[in-house]
Structure 1
């Protein structure tokens, strides 16, 4: 985004007004110091204000104790200063602590609580954590609407914050009425020249601008700028915000000469006011660099981009086109341009799955058993902290009637205990393993490092997706290339959604007609868009290692078609057999990120579990049928259930597992699947858990680190399928008496607590590649958790898989791996899919919805 509409109305509580202060001289001292800090903050002199605010907080804690209401005010104020200078990681715990103190000392519905909720929500909003921010903004607005009059400026502030939250998500119809209501309040209370009026005019101008209503937007943004210059002075950061937004308007209208001096002035103001490393300064530098490039001044843009790369704040949409042009104009050596581009991509597109792989790599690279144990403990505590933090934020977002004080108190006590334990762990790590910090914070991987990790038969392909254009990179042991792609994120999302139509066989019926079948022409079009520009470098390599981003994580690359088909949709299913599938040419494996290659190869364990496999399948979903004949179930059942029906399975505080059990069809084929694979690999029957034994209890009591392969053959539930289920899960046997330890659903957070040492994990279920919730980042959820737990590769599915097809594909894959272990996982999966595709015994065998659901995530080569 080119600008951020942050409403910077400071809350400086009148500390001296508290009746709790018993020493007048102390009260006066605090009031004077607080007032001075507030004036510095108002003037944008944050570097002067912060040390004074830190000292004031320390003095107040010493005098009044850590839980005093005025200490909460000081915490909130210091948090605002940190937030204003981009130090969000330091601001967040201050806000949380302030909210906790205020709730105890001023009440759950106090104005002080509302103000601090607003500040914490604004922090989350800047980080694009919209789901965390929205309930906080709503609770703050509700408190102020109840407590204040309809014309109070604090109510206007909440209206503005709520509107800004909506606007950042493109919800213009929700945002604009709230902005206008807030503007009316401020014009009435503060007059037409008040700085808050400027903020609302700026925000309304932004709403009009992004909708293309330029003639309406320009006078509002210009008036905002004039008010701010008059009221705040020419060098205030808020003036820079209006300058930036007006410049963006001119740029959108093609008035580049008018935009340039405004961007330059905004950057200069921000550099002086908040420093070169502040996020707002980076926004201005990115915008100016983008403008220079649009004017053909790549030589002027390049130094700005290189400075942004150094501070890890370069935007992909800005940096990659400039680096590409600089290379082409010989302003940069080609290898340096590539490495700078890789740096930007790695710092800008780190997925949660990639982070999990990196954490696993840190533990593996530690080598020393004691170090690995300490690191795992610290990482587990960090994950628990994140979960508890989210729970506490969710709690403070609720109305008084829905709060659970006892649960909140336990959560806060646990957080304090974790903080103490992690502090001790960090001291131990620093004392016993001084090199650990370098290991845990690896630098971005370079092109030469990637080349050194590839074999002569491999090519790595990675993508960077921006709003209007994207970039594709190819690296082999012998060379590299990268190309701009004239397609942006939204267009890619639409194409991929259309591409996936007809693949989910659960929704495919005779009534679908040809229009509901897989489109070969679109598959070829996507190949032309994404891989054809790199074909000279990659086409002769046997294996493709693809690191997708954004919408591309939902694309099964092996189903791209390399040659234009005679018909988009063949007359008969057999016609799909002759398509030029990419799979016919190359094996494909998917990497969560560029750095995952190094994590999985340079630090790969050579000591997987000693036992070949353990598996869990054909779980018992309805305990009342235990011991009955379940083999009469339909053998071709899809491993999914109609999504819409899941919303009926939520009752009270948990999933209604009785109704869920009735809706989940049994999967007797999964027993055949597991038994067949077990026979191939010489796995004893005691390591295959079926029926009631395929339970969470069995799983959690099994020494999983002893096994090279962990195999699940069951239903997969994507978050959002079951109302109230906030994370993806695998359905295991549902016990007659569900407990916290075993409720029949193995969630991704429970997976992350497992201890694995697995060459790979097989998730022969439905849609196990999906993210945590509809529209979320893919390759997260279950994939992230299994990587974190200790898997080096995952076999996952892109859509609801036909049960018989899953059995055939997986048994064929393991058959081939046993026959020739040197082939590697990606190649044996490729051969299994091709054998299915080429089997002419049934017309449907040629249809990709049956033979193509699986994808190999992680290390696809032979171990």
Structure 2
């Protein structure tokens, strides 16, 4: 039997949220207090449905007695949220927690224990949803409140220590988590005794830390002691017993002790099915764990029914389901096409990116057809996006100390949220009454092989990747065939290799061929090709156009720079040596799809959109420093990279915003972008009034013109990636900086502002630096500017993978549009391919052969002529 290092660890750490049940206040007497205690005890006993029913009655009773804003109502709402969360009803729990926080802050103060408890409950919910960035500040705030208000040995302080430690552990920060777990354990053993359920939770968590670090001899007795306490104190059928069983089973599986692991996994699943029902997230997690175990221990026939059940309710996890389906197909336990369709289902449901979600929303609007329905849908989507942003701002606010909060701003946000909720409720009634088919339209099913094939031309191949912790998969589809293969590399290995791959594309190391260790490694590019595409080469190699739907780390990989044949040398003696490499680009034009489903959105549904009436509008050569006039600048300025020195970014942050005066001093002017836009505009017959340069290349101009009239919307400027400027939470495009910045026009067009635009563009060009990047370092690529432009109404984007030479950007863009203008049926991806090859094959300078210069751009979305 083979070993299988499944990562179920993140699902098995436990928060001490059970102690976050809000106790009745001194004002609560008699029946109300007794009811609160009974709700808490039902939750601790795992009788979640009964706890929910009682908690709902308590809220209703207290609201009738005291009104909706009383302190006891706040506590009761927090308790009801906790009961819902235990029952797997997170979407109902979250708004209750937030409402409780508002009430409790007003009635007992922002630094009260009740507020700390509710902050912890909300953070716990976020952590369970893997929203770690939202959870961390809430956990920290709760800990600060309790450290200030409680003695050092108080159990609630132990709870906060455990919860913050759990957060660190889920992020792999073992050195930060373990001492906090030990400190919390010491507090609880002293305060509550050695057999308290909270002691069991902490023993479980410490055992998990040891387990993932392969300190099995230390981990096993800790987890066993945790299990023994829970069985004795809580009963053998309690859901927390299932948690300890899962953890001990996983420990045994990691050691190859399969006979001991199996009954523990099976018992954990049975407990959860009985306690919380078949559809609860915890039950789904146990089902995925057991399926993966059966697969790892050589029993695919037992694993398959579990996976099929999970696929049916939409809860199959790729890390568990994909190996089972792959093996079932190999062993002919299910038909090949059915297996691949199920794999596609799991991938599409389990790896939905933010950019793919934006394309899906666009597709819903396009498929709506009628002007009124499309208008209503767009309004509802815009309101939902606004509510999400406001909600994040409020959550961020409540995680801060009182002295750093703006009460008036928070109240404005809450008032606006209430107004949005009312308007969306009205919209939903209208949609249901006037357009009863809208619900099905807004929740499309995953695409099958045949559906994808019907959208492909004879000249196209699509590859869909799925990345899991242990191994990954590639599915290749053409119009008349399909294939799939495993990739024996997991997420961590792929991330490391792609980071190394990209280090060779730093323009700063490409001035000459010295320092070879920092130059692009052709051998690694060939290794990556062999790993990712060679397994399906026979199916895809003869198709001129390659569509790539990737996920995770692979979204940061420039696929066109893979090398299809073994190079003569990993790093050539001179730059000219790069010209002879067998770049994938020489064989195929590459388009990147946010998801497989986006192909349907961009093709079948986009055919319904109205054609734009004007060819192009462009924004370039923005004015960053009023002292520098448009068109000024020497050759050095004209060839500057469209990026800044990363190390200097934080210098531009002052107080509550970007110091645009200082930023303008260091942003190089880009006069060559005026040449770029004018040349392209001339070839496309663009009116001079549609090219906006200098002071006119501003947010004010952009937001006031009818962008939906233009087939191409073009930006030639600097790009700022989120995280590069301290406090700048979103990727942005730099436009002309006004003398008097305002909320309407501050010189930075952020991703959220882009999402509010109304486009009807076949192509949005972002001739700037690193515009493919995500919202923050390490985030999913394609999730920032790309997501927002798709949502706004773009079918395709031209973006860059790294800081690009301004001279190279201008040359590549002009060359691409020249080719497309000469032959409109060429397609965007092929025009870009030819432009890059022309640059690569230009022998006038050795640097032209180096991929950092000719290869920065990628085509995202629809690359074919349509």
Normalising by structure 2, report the TM-score.
0.97
Retained in 2: the 8 A contact 1:10–1:80? no
Residues in 2 aligned to 1:560 and 1:608: alpha-carbon distance in whole angstroms: 36
State the partner residue of 1:202.
204
Retained in 2: the 8 A contact 1:633–1:666? no
Retained in 2: the 8 A contact 1:18–1:70? no
State the partner residue of 1:116.
118
Retained in 2: the 8 A contact 1:506–1:800? no
State the partner residue of 1:24.
none
**SS of residue matched to 2:621:** strand
Q: How does 1:444-455 map to 2 (within 5 A)?
A: 444-455=446-457
Q: How does 1:30-429 map to 2 (within 5 A)?
A: 30-429=32-431
Instruction: Select 1:727's aligned residue among 714, 725, 730.
Output: 730
Q: How does 1:776-815 map to 2 (within 5 A)?
A: 776-815=779-818
Retained in 2: the 8 A contact 1:506–1:640? no
State the partner residue of 1:704.
707
Retained in 1: the 8 A contact 2:836–2:854? yes
State the partner residue of 1:13.
22
Residues in 1 aligned to 2:857 and 2:610: alpha-carbon distance in whole angstroms: 26
Encode CA deviations 1:499-519: one digit per residue, 9 max, x unaligned: 112213145344852222111
Deviation at 1:633, TM superposition (A): 5.4
Encode CA deviations 1:53-80: one digit per residue, 9 max, x unaligned: 1122122212211111111111111111
**SS of residue matched to 2:476:** strand
Q: How does 1:838-849 map to 2 (within 5 A)?
A: 838-849=841-852
**SS of residue matched to 1:623:** coil
More displaced 10-residue stretch of structure 1: 810-819 or 502-511: 502-511
Residues in 2 aligned to 1:367 and 1:458: alpha-carbon distance in whole angstroms: 28
Retained in 1: the 8 A contact 2:474–2:487? yes
Residues in 1 aligned to 2:62 and 2:576: alpha-carbon distance in whole angstroms: 79
Encode CA deviations 1:221-264: one digit per residue, 9 max, x unaligned: 00111011000000001111111100111111111111000001
Deviation at 1:631, TM superposition (A): 5.8
Residues in 1 aligned to 2:535 and 2:837: alpha-carbon distance in whole angstroms: 26
More displaced 10-residue stretch of structure 1: 79-88 or 551-560: 79-88
Deviation at 1:617, TM superposition (A): 0.4
Deviation at 1:608, TM superposition (A): 3.0
Deviation at 1:632, TM superposition (A): 5.9
- CA gap of 1:322–1:632, structure 2 versus 1, over 3 A, is closer
State the partner residue of 2:3.
none
Residues in 2 aligned to 1:594 and 1:780: alpha-carbon distance in whole angstroms: 16
Deviation at 1:634, TM superposition (A): 2.4
Q: How many residues align?
A: 856
Encode CA deviations 1:433-457: one digit per residue, 9 max, x unaligned: 1111110110111111000000111
Deviation at 1:206, TM superposition (A): 0.6
Encode CA deviations 1:347-403: one digit per residue, 9 max, x unaligned: 110000000000011111111111111111100000000000000001000101101
Correspondence 1:653 to 2:659 = no
Instruction: Select 1:855's aligned residue among 854, 858, 863.
Output: 858
Encode CA deviations 1:620-664: one digit per residue, 9 max, x unaligned: 110233478346652211111100101100111110111111111
**SS of residue matched to 1:603:** helix
Retained in 2: the 8 A contact 1:717–1:728? yes
Encode CA deviations 1:415-472: one digit per residue, 9 max, x unaligned: 0000000001111111111111110110111111000000111111010001121000
Q: How does 1:728-807 map to 2 (within 5 A)?
A: 728-807=731-810
Correspondence 1:540 to 2:542 = yes
Residues in 2 aligned to 1:386 and 1:822: alpha-carbon distance in whole angstroms: 41
**SS of residue matched to 1:475:** strand
Residues in 1 aligned to 2:37 and 2:192: alpha-carbon distance in whole angstroms: 21
Deviation at 1:189, TM superposition (A): 1.1
Residues in 1 aligned to 2:78 and 2:511: alpha-carbon distance in whole angstroms: 59
Encode CA deviations 1:754-792: one digit per residue, 9 max, x unaligned: 010000100000000000111110001000000000000
Deviation at 1:619, TM superposition (A): 0.6
**SS of residue matched to 2:466:** strand
Correspondence 1:624 to 2:627 = yes
Residues in 2 aligned to 1:169 and 1:733: alpha-carbon distance in whole angstroms: 40
Aligned-residue CA RMSD in angstroms? Answer: 1.2
Residues in 2 aligned to 1:325 and 1:265: alpha-carbon distance in whole angstroms: 25
Residues in 2 aligned to 1:812 and 1:461: alpha-carbon distance in whole angstroms: 28
Normalising by structure 1, report the TM-score.
0.98
Retained in 1: the 8 A contact 2:276–2:283? yes
Residues in 1 aligned to 2:803 and 2:190: alpha-carbon distance in whole angstroms: 58
- CA gap of 1:636–1:86, structure 2 versus 1, over 3 A, is same
Instruction: Select 2:612's aligned residue among 609, 612, 615.
Output: 609
- CA gap of 1:171–1:515, structure 2 versus 1, over 3 A, is same
Correspondence 1:692 to 2:701 = no
Residues in 2 aligned to 1:79 and 1:352: alpha-carbon distance in whole angstroms: 27
Residues in 2 aligned to 1:63 and 1:702: alpha-carbon distance in whole angstroms: 55
Retained in 2: the 8 A contact 1:633–1:668? no
Residues in 1 aligned to 2:690 and 2:436: alpha-carbon distance in whole angstroms: 41
More displaced 10-residue stretch of structure 1: 520-529 or 498-507: 498-507
Deviation at 1:34, TM superposition (A): 2.5
Retained in 2: the 8 A contact 1:451–1:476? yes
Moved over 4 A (4+): none
Deviation at 1:845, TM superposition (A): 1.3
Retained in 2: the 8 A contact 1:504–1:801? no
Encode CA deviations 1:124-173: one digit per residue, 9 max, x unaligned: 11111111111111111111111111111111111111111111111111
Residues in 1 aligned to 2:187 and 2:634: alpha-carbon distance in whole angstroms: 69
- CA gap of 1:173–1:819, structure 2 versus 1, over 3 A, is same
Encode CA deviations 1:156-199: one digit per residue, 9 max, x unaligned: 11111111111111111111111111111111111111111111
* Runs of 5+ consecutive residues of structure 1 not aligned to the other structure: 22-26
Deviation at 1:83, TM superposition (A): 1.0
Residues in 1 aligned to 2:802 and 2:467: alpha-carbon distance in whole angstroms: 23
Residues in 2 aligned to 1:129 and 1:260: alpha-carbon distance in whole angstroms: 31
Residues in 1 aligned to 2:512 and 2:22: alpha-carbon distance in whole angstroms: 68
